[in-house]
Amino acid sequence: MTEPTDPTDPRTAEPRTLEPRTLEPRTLDQNPTAPRPASARATQGDPSVVPAFAPPSPGRPRRRYAVVGTGHRAGMYVGAVTGDHADVAELVAWCDTNPARMAYYDAEVGAALGRGGPAGLPRYGAQDVERMVVDERVDVVVVTTPDATHAGIVARALDAGADVVVEKPLTTTVEGCHTITRAVARTGRDVVMTFNYRYAPRNSTLREVVASGRIGRVTSVHFEWALDTVHGADYFRRWHRDKKTSGGLLVHKSSHHFDLVNWWLRDVPVRVYASGGLRFYGDANATERGLGPRPERGTGAVGDPWALDLTHDPRLRALYLDAEEHDGYRRDQDVFAPGITIEDNMSVLVDYAGGATLTYSLNAHSPWEGYRVTVNGTEGRAELEVVERGAVVLDDDGRAVLDPSATPEGVAAEETRPSGERLLVQRHWEPAREQPIPAGVGGHGGGDAILLMDVFRRDLREAPDPLGRAAGYRDGLRAVAVGIAANRSMTTGQPVRVADLGLGEDLALPPDDAPHGAAVTTGTTTGAEAGTTTGAEVAR
Ligand SMILES: NC(=O)c1ccc[n+]([C@@H]2O[C@H](COP(=O)([O-])OP(=O)(O)OC[C@H]3O[C@@H](n4cnc5c(N)ncnc54)[C@H](O)[C@@H]3O)[C@@H](O)[C@H]2O)c1
């Protein structure tokens, strides 16, 4: 008698690897989730995740944007304003501490606008944010500076009369939260947080699954994020390696992830415990593992898989190597050099107001990059698994090759762990079912282009977003609250109540925004109950 062959029957289904979805070109870059060149992007996303926008009315003036911080990330916004959103937005000024980086983008914009030379936009120094907003009649300031500078720049731009679009993390400290909340209260102006991960269809589909009630009320979430030895290492080469500047990875990087959990659950974190350490990068770990003398910087280092050679990438060269003379900013420092004050292994436990618990971990020296999320509910569980890069493949010189398809080892590794994404939903007493993930557009799992539509055309939306993806400064506060509390917990060894941080504003969600994990009465003791506060108290 032959076995039944129902592929959804877990007893008989063939063992399977993650299904590949051809979203990523097979090139290896330093940040596998960064925006891809236009040629590598899907141009049409699925209408269920790509919203519809009305055209701007004829003759409507374009909003005037200035960019503060003309480094790597600014490129996404500059490209959007000169490209897809040029009908509703225009760039009117640059502000940075480094003239070479402003000149780089000015030339790029000149070329994009077909000027036959630089665009010639006015350039301002860090001390001139207010003057720039007034003199250039700036409507919106885009803040893409290092994390610790966000709060001051956001507040100054608001006070000068502009709205703000700010990159994650909103800020790195409790004081930064105060600076921003007070400025918003003073001015009543708009602060858009660009949480692009919300816009990746795999992440918004998980939110839909949770919101649909298919897995019942959420009781816990398990979330593991792995950064690989190319992308993960990159956080240890420049300002991110300094906790004062980046807040450490639990603020800098995990604010994306904590925002996702807050948003998936529509809930508010109330208590945080964290443990972590610098266990792989840094000079002490290198010495302990007998790594021997290291080059001070990656540029010019030969046969070193940890080195980033800025001369190998014209953009990195122009933005950083050729700009060094102005500020000494070294983009390619050795990841095993002294001076690293952030962790590379982190574990966090978060209690939510609605009764769910998050267990979270971040590792920054993984041989592959991606994440796994499990959402447990009273009626089942949802599991999202994403492989952004299945293996880091090195060439004969020990460098990360640009095209792993040219390297047989790379192909073999990808066969075993192909890039892709899979969302499984399994209700109690039922087999697992794969939840289709609609196609997005552009980088960051298909979310960047959709985010940009929402940033530049929000007022032209034809209907409110059922996914609630647009984020403001209060979402930014809720996300950094976890990272800031986690940093404090790692220092004290104690759990930290978010309410005790005194972030300057109530983090509760609007009353009609009921948490998906609310009112869990399973009889088990939640962290919030076990502590000195209850979710309800904090949510008020
Ligand atoms: N959402 C995402 O996926 C994503 C990806 C990358 C970076 N980011 C965020 O974007 C921001 C910028 O990151 P990056 O990689 O472009 O950094 P970067 O170092 O490449 O660029 C930062 C720029 O800010 C300038 N700067 C520093 N201090 C300044 C000040 N006080 N005033 C004006 N300019 C100043 C620097 O000279 C530099 O040009 C960070 O907050 C980062 O977290 C977000």
pLDDT, residue 481, reads 98
Residue 387 sits in the same domain as residue 428: yes
Ligand 1 in reach of 168 Cβ (< 6 A): yes
Q: What is the mean pLDDT of the chain?
A: 85
- Spacing, Cα 463 to ligand 1 middle (Å): 33
Tell me the CA end-to-end span of the chain in Å, nearest whole number.
62
Residue 147 sits in the same domain as residue 204: no
Is 136 contained in some domain?
yes
pLDDT, residue 34, reads 42
Q: How far is CA 130 from CA 68, 138, 156, 197, in A?
A: 11, 10, 6, 31
DSSP assignment of 349-402: EEEETTS-EEEEEEEEEESSEEEEEEEEETTEEEEEEEEEES---B-TTSPBPS
Residue 85 sits in the same domain as residue 158: yes
Which of the listed residues 31, 96, 192 should we mutate to test ligand 1's pocket, taking the one with most ligand atoms within 8 A of CB? Answer: 96
pLDDT, residue 45, reads 75
Residue 513: give the domain boundaries. 197-281+341-396+417-445+473-539
Residue 163 sits in the same domain as residue 258: no
- Spacing, Cα 108 to ligand 1 middle (Å): 18
Is 206 contained in some domain?
yes
Ligand 1 in reach of 421 Cβ (< 6 A): no
Residue 173 sits in the same domain as residue 204: no
Residue 75 sits in the same domain as residue 128: yes
Per the structure, how many domains does the chain have?
Answer: 3
pLDDT, residue 405, reads 25
Ligand 1 in reach of 73 Cβ (< 6 A): yes
Dist CA 282 CA 365 (whole Å): 12
- Spacing, Cα 134 to ligand 1 middle (Å): 23
Is 229 contained in some domain?
yes
Among 296, 327, 358, where does a domain finish? 327
Among 193, 217, 247, where does a domain finish? 193
Among 193, 225, 240, where does a domain finish? 193
- Spacing, Cα 445 to ligand 1 middle (Å): 21
pLDDT, residue 448, reads 85
Ligand 1 in reach of 145 Cβ (< 6 A): yes
Which of the listed residues 68, 72, 317 should we mutate to test ligand 1's pocket, taking the one with most ligand atoms within 8 A of CB? Answer: 72
Which of the listed residues 94, 132, 141, 144 should we mutate to test ligand 1's pocket, taking the one with most ligand atoms within 8 A of CB? Answer: 144
- For the record, the structure tokens of 59 come out as 């003759």
Residue 83 sits in the same domain as residue 142: yes
DSSP 467: T
Ligand 1 in reach of 254 Cβ (< 6 A): no
Ligand 1 atom closest to Cα of 126? Answer: 32
DSSP assignment of 254-293: HHHHHHHHHHHHT--EEEEEEEEE--SSSHHHHHHTT---
pLDDT, residue 302, reads 85
- Spacing, Cα 152 to ligand 1 middle (Å): 14
pLDDT, residue 445, reads 66
Is 47 contained in some domain?
no
Residue 314 sits in the same domain as residue 277: no
- Spacing, Cα 13 to ligand 1 middle (Å): 47
pLDDT, residue 191, reads 98
Ligand 1 atom closest to Cα of 196? Answer: 1
Is 17 contained in some domain?
no
Ligand 1 atom closest to Cα of 256? Answer: 1
Ligand 1 in reach of 167 Cβ (< 6 A): yes
Residue 179 sits in the same domain as residue 240: no
Residue 241 sits in the same domain as residue 112: no
Q: Which amino acid is at 44?
A: Q
pLDDT by 10-residue block (mean), the chain, 540 residues: 36 36 36 39 70 92 98 96 96 98 97 94 98 98 98 98 98 98 97 95 97 98 95 96 98 98 97 98 97 93 90 94 98 97 98 98 96 98 94 70 30 69 97 94 75 95 93 97 98 97 87 53 33 27
Ligand 1 in reach of 100 Cβ (< 6 A): no
Token pair 């009320």 is found at: 217
Residue 185 sits in the same domain as residue 215: no
The CATH number of the domain holding residue 182 is: 3.40.50.720
Dist CA 277 CA 345 (whole Å): 6
Is 189 contained in some domain?
yes
Ligand 1 in reach of 69 Cβ (< 6 A): yes
Is 4 contained in some domain?
no
Is 359 contained in some domain?
yes
The CATH number of the domain holding residue 377 is: 3.30.360.10
Ligand 1 in reach of 349 Cβ (< 6 A): no
Dist CA 356 CA 375 (whole Å): 10
Ligand 1 in reach of 72 Cβ (< 6 A): yes
- For the record, the structure tokens of 42 come out as 């899907």
Ligand 1 atom closest to Cα of 75? Answer: 16
Residue 150 sits in the same domain as residue 201: no
Dist CA 162 CA 155 (whole Å): 10
Pick the residue whose CA is nearest to atom 39 on ligand 1.
71
